[in-house]
């Protein structure tokens, strides 16, 4: 944990308030050793506070969790991304419109099952009072969202994002057509047929053609 105990109390309290961590009674263990993880900050280029202090991006360091877990690949190998569009050749007089958007703070948008948080505990305990409770005692907190330092975060994020894209609108999804998805493992869709648009997801980015 690359912070002093007092600062970690403040950080953990803010993470808990935002729903990014949850209280864990006991971390997971392997061969009698608890699986606990770290955290540190890296400067955001060009960003400072009013007093000139550097603004840091929080990094959840999950090397311990990674050491005991298999990587969830998901759909990573099928991602096409923007380079796939370099192979498109348009007939003369044809125009293709592209709309793109990304999910802001994407890794923090998707909640994890509570049991997974036992694998994702931070090493240093925090006081219950730092979490807003009016009682003494210390507890562990574990990640409740996708930690960027977790090897499977990308695979899980892509899986969740893609399923939201394919889910019907009446069920809270985007209702995109599966046969119009641009992927490495499928034939490039015929754009414009029946007014359908092609689409591609690349982690938190969505492109509509």
Residue-range domain boundaries for the chain: 5-208
**pLDDT single digits (tens) 118-174:** 999 999 999 999 999 999 999 999 999 998 889 999 999 999 999 999 999 999 999
How is residue 149 written in tokens?
Answer: 């330092």
Mention every residue, 6+ apart, whose C-beta is less than 8 A from residue 48. Answer: 54, 55
pLDDT score, position 175: 92
Q: What percent of the chain has pLDDT over 90?
A: 64
Longest dimension (CA), the chain: 73
Confidence of residue 11 (pLDDT cuts 50, 70, 90): very high
Q: What percent of the chain has pLDDT over 70?
A: 100
Confidence of residue 192 (pLDDT cuts 50, 70, 90): confident
Q: Is the pLDDT of residue 194 over 80?
A: no
Name the more confident of 96 and 128: 128
pTM score:
0.83
């Amino acid at each position: 944990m690359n912070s002093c105990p007092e600062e970690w109390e403040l950080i953990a309290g803010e993470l808990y308030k935002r729903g990014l961590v949850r209280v864990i009674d006991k971390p997971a263990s392997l061969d009698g050793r608890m699986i606990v993880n770290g955290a540190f900050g890296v400067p955001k280029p060009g960003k400072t506070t009013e007093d000139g202090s550097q603004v840091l991006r929080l990094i959840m360091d999950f090397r311990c969790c990674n050491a005991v877990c298999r990587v969830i690949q998901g759909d990573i190998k099928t991602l096409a991304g923007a380079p796939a569009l370099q192979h498109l050749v348009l007939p003369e007089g044809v125009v293709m419109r592209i709309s793109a958007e990304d999910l802001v703070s994407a890794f923090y948008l998707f909640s994890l099952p509570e049991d997974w948080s036992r694998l994702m505990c931070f090493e240093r305990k925090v006081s219950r009072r730092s979490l807003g409770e009016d009682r003494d005692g210390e507890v562990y907190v574990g990640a409740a969202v996708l930690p960027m330092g977790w090897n499977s975060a990308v695979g899980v994020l892509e899986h969740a994002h893609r399923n939201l894209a394919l889910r019907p609108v009446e069920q809270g999804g985007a209702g995109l057509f599966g046969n119009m998805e641009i992927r490495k493992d499928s034939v490039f869709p015929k754009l414009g047929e029946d007014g359908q648009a092609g689409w591609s997801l690349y982690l938190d980015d969505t492109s509509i053609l």
